[in-house]
Amino acid sequence: METSLYETDFYGWTMQQSKLLALGKLDGLDLANLIEEIEFLGKHKQQELSNRLGVLIGHLLKWQYQPQKRSRSWQVTIQLQREEINDLLADNPSLKSYLDKALLKAFRLGLALILSETPIKKSLLPDVCPYSLEQLLDCNYPDDIDVEF
């Protein structure tokens, strides 16, 4: 069985496939692997959206459930995740159709974050995400997010 460039030099393979596409030499393309990689790119963007929402939710939960421990670090993390999510959605508008599904996954990630980083018991936390998508993406939510440290 012949080892393909895809298996031995991924970067070289991507450059080769790009050049073949640019030249219109479609018959030389490694279609099976191209299809797999393109699908992976889309799934990677979905995963990035879920992960960023999860970090955002986790920090909003910490903000809500541990007001005495609020910090500039949490504030910056919340702000940064919102900016990155908005950039991701602006660059990939069709990801908006994935937001509801991403939110379900993100809530589980956010719970895992708060449970691993705080002494808060799971029984004290909500069973469903307490934040709407609008609230999650609103840079002024919650009302006290702009407090100075």
Q: What is the pLDDT of residues 11-43, one digit of tens each?
A: 999 999 999 999 999 999 999 999 999 999 999
What pTM value is reported for the model?
0.87
Q: In one letter, which amino acid is 120?
A: I
Q: What percent of the chain has pLDDT over 70?
A: 98
Give the residue from 133, 132, 3, 113 showing the smallest Cα distance to 63: 113
CA 121, distance to chain mean position in Å, is 26
* DSSP 8-state code for residue 98: G
